[in-house]
Amino acid sequence: MNSSAFITLVVILFIVIVIIRCIKIVPQAYVYVIERFGSFYCEWETGIHFMIPFIYRVAGKVSLKEKVVDFKPQPVITKDNVTMQIDTVVFYQVTNAKQLIYGVERPIAAIENLSATTLRNIIGEMELDSTLTSRDVINTKITAILDQATDRWGIKVNRVELKNILPPREIQDAMEKQMKAERERREKILQAEGEKKSQILVAEGEKESKILRAEAEKQAEILHAEAEKQALVLKADAVREQKILEATGEAQAIGLVQQALAESLVKLNQAAPSEQVLQLKSLEAFAKAADGKATKIIIPSEIQGLAGLAAGLKATIEKE
């Protein structure tokens, strides 16, 4: 191969390399800041772009993704002069690539220093107890201040979190003792409340038991009284029925006697009795009356001739 052909090949290869290097592909979520003759020209977004060599230059490749930066612990002093170590986590995102490239030299270092000074200012206005219990308040304040300060750099601070709050060792020991005492106090309170509730439940159980026993006794007495009442009613009904039956029997007996007497009188009347027979019947009736319990007996005038009646009866019998 002669020298002219070699030079031609080198030139062609150089041109191909230059053309390839002039073709720029911007990936997703990235922005390229382009300068022309050393000054800002434009921003290239996602896609294929052609850059004229020696005229255009890529000043910076900026990612638009949200980033997380974990800063090392910073010493801060509270309002009551307690020194503690606090480390923060910052979530930020670039919103303007041009401002980021030309606004700040080292953005991460700038955010870290700004976060540390802001944290010292906020913690310096709070006491130890408030610092330990006000994470959300501190996070909100730091986020607002950093977002406002980094806005001119094209950075949006979305969130700031306090990762760890580490008081001095002696403070931690005192807090652990305090927490232990508080847990013991709560345990005693819970035990006392448990015993109280147990006693209340026992008392309520005894009360309900007594009430149930009283109700049972009351129901038993009511049932006993009802039974006695029913027994008395049944007994009275039985006595009443017995008296009714006795009265009915006596009435029937009296009726039968009266009927027999009436029939006997009818038959006697049909037989046409003589005077001697009538006197004899009167004597029988008088004998029945005299056989009673009466202390005084009035003798009818018809029976005064008792001797004559007896003589008449004797004569009648002899004639027969």
Instruction: Return the CATH fold of 66-167.
Output: Tetrahydropterin Synthase; Chain A (3.30.479)
CB 150 within 8 A of CB 92: yes
Closest of 31, 30, 48 to residue 40, by C-alpha: 31
Task: Give pLDDT, residue 68.
Answer: 93
> Which residues, including other chains, have CB under 8 Å from residue 17's CB and lie 6 or more apart?
none
Which residue, chain included where needed, has tokens 């041109």?
Answer: 15
CB 124 within 8 A of CB 78: yes
DSSP letter for each residue of the chain: --HHHHHHHHHHHHHHHHHHHHEEEEPTTEEEEEEETTEEEEEE-SEEEE--TTTEEEEEEEE-SEEEEEPPPEEEE-TTS-EEEEEEEEEEEES-HHHHHHH-S-HHHHHHHHHHHHHHHHHHTS-HHHHHH-HHHHHHHHHHHHHHHTGGGTEEEEEEEEEEEE--HHHHHHHHHHHHHHHHHHHHHHHHHHHHHHHHHHHHHHHHHHHHHHHHHHHHHHHHHHHHHHHHHHHHHHHHHHHHHHHHHHHHHHHHHHHHHHHHHHHHHHT---HHHHHHHHHHHHHHHHTSS-S--PPPGGGTTHHHHHHHHHHHHHH-
Closest of 155, 36, 61 to residue 99, by C-alpha: 155
Task: Give pLDDT, residue 286.
Answer: 55
Closest of 131, 104, 129 to residue 120, by C-alpha: 131
Task: Give pLDDT, residue 318.
Answer: 52
0.75 cut: is pTM over it? Answer: no
CA distance 306 to 282: 11
If phi > 0 it is left, if psi is from -120 to 50 it is alpha, else beta; for residue 202 that is: alpha
Instruction: Give the residue extent of every domain in the chain.
Output: 3-63, 66-167, 196-272, 273-320
Per residue of the chain (320 residues), what is the pLDDT tens digit? 567 777 888 888 888 887 888 888 899 999 999 999 888 999 999 999 888 878 888 889 999 999 999 988 888 988 888 888 898 999 999 999 999 999 888 899 999 999 999 999 998 888 888 888 888 899 999 999 999 999 999 999 999 999 888 887 887 777 778 888 888 888 889 989 888 988 899 888 888 888 998 888 898 889 888 888 888 888 888 888 888 888 888 888 887 877 877 777 677 667 666 666 556 666 665 555 555 555 555 555 555 554 455 455 445 545 55
Q: Which structure tokens are listed for 175?
A: 């807090």
Task: Give pLDDT, residue 245.
Answer: 86
Task: Give pLDDT, residue 142.
Answer: 92
Task: Give pLDDT, residue 307.
Answer: 45
